[in-house]
Structure 1
Amino acid sequence: MTLRLVVSLCALCALCGESFSADPGPWATYRGNPQRTGNTDGAAGPEKPAILWSVKSTDHFIASPVPVKDAVYIAGIGAFNRPSASLFPFAGKNPPAATWVKSAPYLKLASVSSPAVAGDYLLFGDGIHQDSGGVLHCVNATTSQPLWQLVLPGDLIHLEGAPVVAGGKVFIGGGAAGALCVEMDKATLDGKEYDLATVAKMQDAKWKELTAKYEEAKAKKDDFAIPPDDSQLLKFAPKKVWQKGEKKWHVDAPVNFASDKLLVPTAYLDKEKVGERALYALNATTGDTVWRTELKYNPWGGATVAGDLVIVPESSVGYYYKELKGAKGALTALDLKTGDQKWRKEIPTGGVLGCASVSDGLAVCTATDGKVRAYKVADGERAWLYDAKMPFFAPPAVAGGVVYAADLGGTVHAIDLKTGNAKWTLSLAKETGAPGMVYGGVTVHGGKLVVATCNLDGPFANKETVLVCIGTK
């Protein structure tokens, strides 16, 4: 074999592996990065918090807010599970006007999935537990124009966890559909394949056609003339690369990505008697199992990457307020390469529903017993404990040496990452007049905090909710 051929083969191998050699970009995965910090710019929030703007709503916000350039995306569930997805500018008047809003008839199912942001595109799933089937959506982040949809029908299939985008591929869990990988940049229609730039042009042309027909009908004074909507656009579908665990796993938690591995948390549903309590590491290219580690409790929050470790939260209960009493949990560290357990910390007084956030050698988690705990990543030794005296569902965020955690009373806690000492607290109920529970966690971006509430259950059931931006006035 000639030297030139060897060099060429090495270059080819490098190119083939390049797609999965780096972490996802900022906000291309749940909570912003594989470390799940809820922040990607390193800028801490305000020293003296103040409400910059708030939006009151009758929708319930379960998914984490996600920054999209100079705006923030939020998904809501309305009456009779009416879906909504909105984009609000960070800067502007109080309350801000939405840049765009999507709902029915394009969105047919409610979404509790935070989107992945990949360049000009947003990718998110829909469907919740009581739905049979779900859809993975790809839309233009600026205009909300639909580009493609992957429709997944079937019992116990729903796309509740956030997707991750890496190497031009989209990975997501689909409940009983297991884990899936699809091409992001290519979509098919009537057996023909198109790139996304061409898809966008074809959708523009279709919209002009629909608008022209509507205007023509109006000119004829047609009483049945109805304005066009996004549900009438072309139905492109992405190319599926692989699907694993269908009808065997139950993947509601967000998947994560580390080098060439996709980390897939699967839960066991006690009522339906289906699924597994385990974490799988899959080869991202093929979907083949690299390793599997069984878990004691369900990993509802998904896995967090901490260097050569994977940190997995566990909880004996789900996101149900009535199940808080007697909840148990744990935080478990696994070897990323082998899946072997490195350390495990039982939490007998509360379940860990949210993912852990890793920063500066600490893994920080919240629990339903009202405590925020920080463990040393290296050996699992507890570094500190903060008592909020109110249960947590939501994961913490970490930015600029500060931990931000929002509890089920609607209070945001700012905690020093090194010491665990309180820096400040802010009650959303007192500041906005809208009490509510926080499910999705605090998002930190550009020195501002964004947090939203949910009142599907609990002491504030069916009361109005609020989306809040916190900063410095």
Structure 2
Amino acid sequence: MRLALLSLAFLLPATARAAEPGPWATYRGTPQRTGNTDGAAGPEKPAILWSVKSTDHFLAAPVPVKDGVYVAGIGAFNRPSAFLYPFAGKAAPTATWVKSAPYLKLASVSSPAVAGELLVFGDGLHQDSGGVLHCVNATTSKPLWQLVMPGTLIHLEGAPTVAGERVFMGGGAAGAFCVELDKATLEGKEYGLADVVKMQEAKWKELVAKYEEAKAKKDDFAIPPDDSQLLKFVPKKAWQKGEGKWHVDAPVNVAGDLVFVPTSYLDKEKVGERALYALKAATGETAWKKELTYNPWGGATVAGDLVIVPGSSVGYYYKELRGAKGDVTALDLKTGAQKWRKEIPTGGVLGCVAVSDGLAVCTATDGKVRAFKVADGERSWLYDAKVPFFAPPAVVGGVAYAADLGGTVHAIDLKTGTAKWTFALAKETGAPGMVYGGVTVHGGKLIVATCNLDGPFANKETVLVCIGSK
């Protein structure tokens, strides 16, 4: 295997995208958190095009990467894995590549940011002390640089955002930080990304040559090289804010010159802060701050001149569903002034809000999907799935797609709030499972992955499914 040498033009996103992330360079594909970037709605009559059963648990939503789909899994004893499957797969497609130990040491629940030929994602879970921000080649999965962030309650669970040539990310107790996508250091010397690629390719060739030489000498201890032996480049850090004061597990969002950072308060550990910060993208300085009633686990959604934030009194714990409360709050993007707020006394809103066609659509742990008018917060419709939701909705082509904790996908008419169809993954695949990460809509197809770490299907096999038209 070799590390593809690519020209800098293909490695980096265009600088014109600095004001707004490109497709899938931010959580759920767009700052509006639609779960779609190409405008193509899903099928009118759903059918399984392909599926992959697994013993891994998929907490993060799948993400389209060129002609493939990326998904991260957690195996037994928190064994980490990341897979790229061909999007136009068949009944049970074979992964294009798989990353695991020894390169990955911690499991990931972070959806990656896609930037040209690059994938950027974090790792580490709540119980881990420390996490790593990874940048790898999307085609080969070969690592380019890593930012190691050690410390108690530091973990990179949320999705990063790539805007221009910078990466913005939250790191639990590490607060929020920004690194240069195209600049990295090695042994105190700074390199551009094109040089990083060349040096990593040369190192890989060297490792392979040594292995082949050892095999030729019939060395019984000859071991094939792996990615953990490549050079350890470290991205250049631009700024870091809120370290030891905030707890940022949710994905950050970027609009223009502002970065929106959701921070939560941990009741058990008695640390953190329950608020949304707007930071200046260039320096990390605070532009404004808004205290929140509930924890913003889903992160902030940009909707024109508004920022819309979900809130929940509980986290992603199945046993805590009873008695959960939540809200949806719309703030002025430039000042943080509250424009409207809707209390949801019967359920927490854990997933982000998806905005399309003047509506802010959210799911809740009370089993309902709600659509509020972006302009004034008035409710447009309510859809009752009768099964709790953790995952955020996707919205495209006049349809909202939501997947519940029973593993059923609901297609809801965006104008009326009525069901167009429902699709039960357990019935169709024989693998019951809960959906945490949300439906991804791409190329007129839906990609859904399940998780059975907890709840009624605990430790049963999971499934990654592509749903389209036969």
Structure 2 equivalent of residue 197 of structure 1: 194
What is the distance in 2 between the residues matched to 1:270 and 1:190? 41
Alignment of 1:146-225 (within 5 A): 146-225=143-222
**Superposition pairs of residues 24-43 of structure 1, within 5 angstroms:** 24-43=21-40
1:58-77 matched pairs, under 5 angstroms: 58-77=55-74
- Structure 2 residue aligned with 1:434, among 419, 431, 436? 431
Partner of 2:324: 327
1:408 is matched with which residue?
A: 405
Q: In 2, distance between residues paired with 1:340 and 1:179? A: 22
Deviation digits for residues 16-49 of structure 1 (CA, Å, limit 9, x no counterpart): xx87862110000000000000000110000000
Which of 262, 267, 271 is matched with 1:270 structurally?
267
2:197 partner SS: helix
Query: What residue number does 2:231 align with?
Result: 234
Query: Could you tell me which amino acid in structure 2 is paired with residue 233 of structure 1?
Result: L
Alpha-carbon distance, 1:93 to partner:
2.1
- Does structure 1 residue 344 correspond to structure 2 residue 360? no
Contact 1:313–1:331 under 8 Å retained in 2:
yes
Once residues 116 and 167 of structure 1 are traced to their aligned partners in structure 2, the CA distance between those partners, rounded to angstroms, is: 12
Which residue is 2:3 aligned to?
none
Aligned length: 456
Shift of 1:403: 0.3
Cα distance in 1, alignment partners of residues 437 and 214 from structure 2: 45
| AA partner of residue 250 (structure 2) | A
User: Which of 346, 364, 374 pairs up with 1:367?
Assistant: 364
Q: 1:69: how far off?
A: 1.0
TM-score scaled by length of structure 1: 0.96
- Whole-Å Cα distance in 2 between the matches of residues 240 and 451 of structure 1? 34
Aligned counterpart, 1:315:
312
Contact 2:365 2:388 in 1 (8 A): yes
Question: d(CA) in 2 for partners of 1:209 and 1:356?
Answer: 48
What amino acid maps onto 2:466 in structure 1? C
The answer (yes or no) to whether the contact 1:302–1:355 under 8 Å persists in 2 is: yes
2:452 maps to: 455
**Mean Cα displacement is larger for which, 183-192 or 106-115?**
183-192
Q: Which amino acid aligns with 1:122?
A: L
Alpha-carbon distance in structure 2 between the residues aligned to 1:335 and 1:199: 41
Which residue is equivalent to 2:130?
133
Secondary structure at the residue paired with 2:294?
coil
1:100 equivalent to 2:97? Answer yes
Q: 1:284 aligns with which of 272, 281, 285?
A: 281
8 Å CA contact retained: 1:19, 1:166: no
Corresponding position: 1:54 with 2:44: no
Question: Is the partner of 2:211 in helix, strand or coil?
Answer: helix
Matched residues in 1 for 2:22 and 2:47: separation?
A: 30
Whole-Å separation in 2 of the counterparts to 1:161 and 1:395: 14
Cα distance between partner residues in 1 of 2:288 and 2:255: 14
Asked if structure 1 preserves the Cα contact closer than 8 Å seen for 2:18 and 2:165, the reply is: no
Matches within 5 A, 1:5-20: none
Which amino acid letter does the alignment assign opposite residue 248 of structure 1?
A: K
Q: Distance in 2 between matches of 1:319 and 1:296?
A: 18
Distance in 2 between residues matched to 1:131 and 1:50, nearest whole Å: 39
Q: Report if aligned partners of 2:363, 2:392 keep a CA contact under 8 Å in 1.
A: yes
2: distance between equivalents of 1:217 and 1:262? 51
User: Quick one: percent identity of the two aligned structures?
Assistant: 85
**Which amino acid is 1:207 matched to?**
W
Q: What is the CA–CA distance in structure 1 between the aligned matches of 2:228 and 2:132, rounded to whole Å? A: 13
1:124-162 residue CA offsets vs partner (Å, 9 max, x unmatched): 000000000000000001110100000000000000000
Aligned residue number for residue 391 of structure 1: 388
1:160-219 C-alpha deviation (Å, 9 max, x unpaired):
000001120000000000000000011111111111121111111111111111111112
| Partner residue in 2 for 1:87 | 84
Q: Report the counterpart of residue 10 of structure 2 in structure 1.
A: none
User: For each residue in 1:241-289, what CA deviation from the matched residue of structure 2 results, as whole angstroms up to 9, or x when unmatched?
Assistant: 0000000000000000111100000000001100000000000001000
Give TM-score scaled by structure 2 length: 0.96
SS at match of 2:401: strand
How far apart, CA to CA, are the structure 1 residues paired with 2:163 and 2:45? 37
Q: What is the distance in 2 between the residues matched to 1:465 and 1:399?
A: 26
Measure the CA separation in 1 of the matches of 2:291 and 2:88: 46
> Could you say what the CA RMSD is over the residues aligned between the two structures, in angstroms?
0.9
Structure 1 counterpart of 2:244, from 227, 235, 247: 247
Structure 1 ranges of 4+ moved more than 6 A: none
Distance 2:391 2:202 in 1: 42
Give the secondary-structure state (helix, strand or coil) at the position aligned to 1:240: strand
Q: Which amino acid aligns with 2:450?
A: T
* Contact in 1 for aligned 2:110/2:159 (Cα 8 Å): yes
C-alpha separation in 1, matches of 2:386 and 2:220: 59
Q: Specify the SS of the correspondent of 2:208.
A: helix
**Unaligned runs of at least 5 residues, structure 1:** 1-17
Q: Closer, same or farther in 2 for the Cα pair 1:234/1:152, shift >3 Å?
A: same
The residue matched to 1:459 in structure 2 has which SS?
A: helix
Output the amino acid matched with 2:396: A
In 2: Cα distance, 1:310 partner to 1:204 partner: 42
5+ residue gaps, structure 2, are 1-14
Q: 2:41 aligns with which of 44, 47, 53?
A: 44
Match of 2:303 among 303, 306, 309: 306
- C-alpha separation in 1, matches of 2:30 and 2:380: 23
Partner of 1:420: 417
**Is residue 76 of structure 2 the alignment partner of residue 112 of structure 1?**
no
State the secondary structure of the residue aligned to 2:456: coil
